[in-house]
């Protein structure tokens, strides 16, 4: 903890010094100071990264990371009592709400890719997901090749089905597309039998399954369609604010605090059902933690 506080202190000092320079300023920090609050965009059904427990309470791995960033903002602005205000974002509106500064950071399950990076900036990668599919345990489906004639659901505003169609193993496989309004709705379509497979990030699928009524009725199967870096989204063209965010996240990585937060949400029982997702940190994520970076998904593409 002492090591983390030292790193956080250095990050705050760097940002404060940069912000005091006449040639530099931060539109985001100025907006936060003026508004008297830190606006966090988050998801309501992206467990264990970000989800709701109801009554305005939001939790998860990325929510905890963003609360650490909020602490750094309070320190940089010398406003220790700044409150956090949550806004639920969707796959469809998350980028615009960061782009227009409605939220100061998005703490959900967003892939860092080149298209989005034209509109927003990303913190260092804090999760690496593999896009796979969830099916009913008794479906007999175990691979992409078996999706012929099936209905595949994904969530509006995501790229999962497009990635599936581009995958070599999906060539010649004819399936019907269905779209849920959010991840919970997509899972409901699978649960109710209206879809045969739900294609999405493996961590989201795992979170939905462990919090379902009958977790044993579902399983994650098939080849990895794509390996993608997930990160906190922030407004673009604000180098002072990005440095604060980057230094805070890097500090969490170097101090070991990020690994503790990861284990809390991926390796321990989580609310509301107190069941563990049981997903150890992958080798790819361990490498990203050891070598902090904000590389886009295109850098992860498999040959």
Is the pLDDT at 116 greater than 80, yes or no?
yes
Q: How much is the pLDDT for 226?
A: 86
Predicted confidence band of residue 169 (pLDDT cuts 50, 70, 90): confident
φ and ψ at residue 233, rounded to 5 degrees: -95, 140
In the chain, % of residues over pLDDT 90:
83
More confident residue, 303 or 133: 133
194-221 average pLDDT score: 95
- Cα distances from 243 to residues 73, 86, 269, in angstroms, run 11, 23, 34
165-183 average pLDDT score: 88
17-25 average pLDDT score: 48
- Cα distances from 109 to residues 43, 130, 171, 270, in angstroms, run 8, 12, 28, 17
Is the pLDDT at 28 greater than 80, yes or no?
yes
More confident residue, 18 or 290: 290
Residue 118: both structure tokens together = 């034209």
Is the pLDDT at 21 greater than 60, yes or no?
no
Q: What is the pTM of this model?
A: 0.83
In the chain, % of residues over pLDDT 70:
91
Summarised one tens digit per residue, pLDDT across range 56-86 is 999 999 999 999 999 999 999 999 999 999 9
Is the pLDDT at 3 greater than 70, yes or no?
no
pLDDT averaged over every residue in the chain: 91
Q: Under 8 Å CB-to-CB from 199, ≥6 apart: which residues?
A: 131, 132, 133, 152, 153, 154, 160, 161, 163, 164, 225
The domains found in the chain, sorted by start residue, are 2-126+231-300 (3.40.190.10), 130-227 (3.40.190.10)
Q: How much is the pLDDT for 20?
A: 42
Is the pLDDT at 303 greater than 90, yes or no?
no
């Amino acid at each position: 903890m002492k090591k983390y506080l030292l790193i956080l202190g250095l990050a705050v000092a760097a940002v404060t010094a940069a912000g005091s320079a006449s040639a530099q300023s931060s539109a985001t920090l100025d907006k936060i100071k003026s508004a008297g609050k830190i606006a966090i965009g988050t998801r309501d059904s992206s467990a264990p990264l970000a989800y709701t427990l109801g009554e305005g309470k939001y939790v998860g791995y990325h929510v905890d990371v963003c609360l650490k960033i909020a602490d750094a903002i309070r320190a940089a602005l010398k406003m220790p009592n700044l409150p956090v205000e949550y806004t639920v974002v969707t796959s469809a509106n998350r980028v615009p709400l960061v782009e227009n500064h409605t939220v100061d950071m998005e703490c959900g399950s967003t892939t860092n890719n080149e298209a989005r990076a034209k509109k927003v900036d990303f913190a260092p990668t804090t999760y690496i997901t593999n896009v796979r599919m969830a099916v009913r345990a008794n479906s007999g489906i175990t691979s992409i090749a078996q999706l012929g004639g099936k209905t595949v659901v994904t969530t509006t505003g995501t790229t999962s089905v497009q990635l599936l169609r581009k995958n070599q193993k999906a060539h010649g496989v004819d399936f019907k597309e269905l779209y849920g309004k959010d991840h919970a709705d997509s899972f409901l379509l699978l649960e109710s039998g209206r879809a045969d497979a739900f294609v999405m990030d493996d961590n989201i699928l795992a979170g939905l399954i462990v919090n379902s009524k009958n977790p044993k009725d579902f399983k994650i199967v098939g080849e990895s369609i794509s390996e993608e870096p997930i990160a906190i989204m922030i407004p673009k063209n604000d180098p002072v604010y990005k440095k604060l965010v980057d230094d805070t996240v890097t500090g969490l990585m170097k101090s070991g605090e990020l690994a503790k937060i990861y284990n809390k949400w991926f390796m321990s029982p989580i609310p509301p059902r107190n069941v563990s997702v049981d997903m150890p940190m992958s080798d790819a994520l361990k490498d990203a933690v050891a070598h902090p970076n904000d590389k886009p998904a295109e850098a992860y593409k498999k040959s």
